[in-house]
């Protein structure tokens, strides 16, 4: 069953009472909340996601709740509880949905150590994944959203999961997080896409989320082989430029952007080395989205799929 098959009342009841078990990629998250902003956001952006059986095992148990005391009424706040434990500082209540997204990223990146987890946007075409590790502000999410609207399958806009057992890139398609100017750029670029409402004054500025394409969500069970590791950089007015980057340098930069590289020790090194080895590595500067997509569409994988 998909979340969209629940009526708004049923959805609210589930989130309120027994919890809603959402399947995203390899993980099941049981969510409890009675906050309107969170219920709305989940109903809107997770409509296409499968509901997992509530008697089944869930990976993460989270609750978005109002604190006790005056902060429930005056300048209300929202708490993110990981199985009852407060893991973050409370945020203003209208940030409940972004907090759900950030919290879910934290759940995965701080637990799922059967994957090498890189802070990166990931998309796929013809079985090959392009991994784009980048710090905030590099235009990674904007580029990711545009590619996801132009024939590339969205695997994730935040977390590249490289399965240690076989080196496959595992999809975790979730809403794409857009910040500040990117929000209006994407709204103009993809007027028929579904966006959450803007939330301002968050720690990342104004944020909004774009729904993941339904096809990406439906194909969340199909892994991809490594294809490219590309370090994107948005630069106002710059021409579109794709240049090769030495593998050793790509390795170090990807390691810098990995959450659990050092935790995984030798296995982390081996997984990242295999990933870089199998990928062609580039730096990419852009300012024009159409040209950027054009460049990506001409990419050829280093090793064709056998």
Partner 1 sequence: MTPPPLILRAFRQPEQLSALDPAEWDLLIRQARKANLLASLHVLLQERSVLAAAPAGPREHLAWADALAQRHMLAVRQEVSLIRQALQACAVPVILLKGAAYVMAQLPSAHGRLFSDIDILVPKERLDQVEAALMLHGWAATHHDAYDQRYYRTWMHELPPMRHIRRMTVIDVHHAIVPDTAPVYPDPAKLRASACPVEGQAGLLTLAPADMVLHSAVHLFHDGELDNGLRDLVDLDRLLRHFGSQPSFWPMLIERARTLELTRPLFYALRYTHSLLHTNVPTEALAQATRFGHPGNATLALMDALFSRALLPEHPSCADRLSGLARQMLYIRASWLRMPPLLLARHLFHKAFLSPRLAESAP
Contacting residues toward partner 1, per CB under 8 A: 28, 55-59, 61, 83-85, 111-114, 262-265, 267
- CB nearer to partner 1: give 84 or 237: 84
Q: 112 or 129: whose CB is closer to partner 1? A: 112
Nearer to partner 1, 211 or 260 (CB): 260
- Least Cβ distance, residue 61 to partner 1 (angstroms): 7
Nearer to partner 1, 112 or 210 (CB): 112
Phi, psi of 137 (to 5 degrees): 95, 0
CA distance 252 to 101: 28
Q: Distance of CA 254 to CAs 24, 53, 234, 257, Å?
A: 24, 36, 18, 5
Indicate the burial class of 79 (C-beta count within 10 angstroms; 0-12, 13-18, 19 or more).
buried
Closest approach, Cβ 194 to partner 1, in A, equals 30
Taking the least distance from each CB to partner 1, the nearer of 85 and 300 is 85
118/182 Cα distance (integer angstroms): 22
CA distance 135 to 226: 21
Question: By C-beta, is 188 or 266 nearer to partner 1?
Answer: 266
> Which lies closer to partner 1 via its Cβ, residue 4 or residue 114?
114
Helix, strand, or coil here: 184? helix
Tell me the closest approach of the beta carbon of residue 36 to partner 1, in angstroms: 25
Distance CA 158, CA 155 (A): 9
Tokens of 22: 């959402």
Both tokens of 208, joined, read 């909004």
CA-closest candidate to residue 253, choices 226, 272, 271, 277: 272
Q: In the bound complex, what is the minimum distance in angstroms from residue 56's beta carbon to partner 1?
A: 5
Contacts of 150 (CB under 8 A, 6+ apart): 293, 297
As measured in angstroms, the least distance from the Cβ of 206 to partner 1 is 34
**Residues, the chain, total?**
306
Tokens at residue 10, please?
Answer: 């049923």
Q: How far is the CB of 53 from partner 1 (least distance, A)?
A: 8
What's the min distance (Å) between Cβ of 11 and partner 1? 22
Nearer to partner 1, 58 or 130 (CB): 58
Separation of alpha carbons 51 and 111, rounded Å: 22
Residue 160 is inside which H or E element, if any? strand 159-163
Q: What is the rounded CA–CA span in Å between residue 206 and residue 2? A: 30
């Amino acid at each position: 069953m998909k979340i969209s098959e629940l009526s708004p009342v049923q959805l609210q009841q589930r989130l309120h009472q027994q919890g809603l078990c959402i399947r995203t990629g390899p993980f099941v998250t049981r969510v409890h909340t009675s906050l309107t902003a969170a219920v709305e956001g989940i109903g809107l952006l997770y409509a296409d996601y499968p509901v997992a059986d509530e008697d089944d095992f869930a990976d993460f148990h989270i609750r978005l709740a109002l604190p006790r005391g005056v902060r429930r009424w005056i300048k209300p706040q929202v708490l993110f509880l990981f199985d009852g434990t407060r893991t973050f500082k409370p945020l203003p209540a209208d940030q409940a949905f972004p907090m759900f997204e950030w919290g879910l990223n934290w759940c995965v990146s701080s637990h799922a150590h059967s994957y090498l987890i890189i802070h990166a946007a990931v998309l796929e075409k013809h079985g090959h994944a392009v991994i784009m590790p980048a710090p905030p502000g590099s235009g990674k999410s904007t580029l990711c959203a545009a590619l996801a609207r132009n024939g590339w399958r969205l695997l994730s806009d935040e977390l590249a999961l490289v399965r240690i057992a076989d080196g496959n890139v595992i999809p975790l398609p979730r809403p794409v997080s857009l910040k500040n100017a990117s929000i209006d750029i994407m709204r103009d670029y993809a007027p028929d896409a579904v966006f959450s409402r803007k939330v301002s004054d968050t720690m990342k500025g104004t944020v909004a989320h774009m729904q993941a394409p339904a096809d990406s969500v439906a194909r969340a069970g199909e892994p991809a082989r490594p294809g490219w590791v590309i370090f994107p950089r948005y630069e106002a007015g710059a021409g579109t430029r794709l240049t090769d980057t030495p593998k050793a340098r790509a390795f170090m930069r990807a390691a810098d952007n990995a959450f659990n590289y050092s935790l995984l020790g030798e296995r982390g090194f081996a997984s990242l080395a295999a990933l870089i080895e199998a990928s062609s590595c580039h730096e990419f500067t852009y300012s024009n989205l159409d040209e950027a997509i054009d460049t990506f569409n001409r990419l050829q994988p280093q090793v064709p799929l056998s």
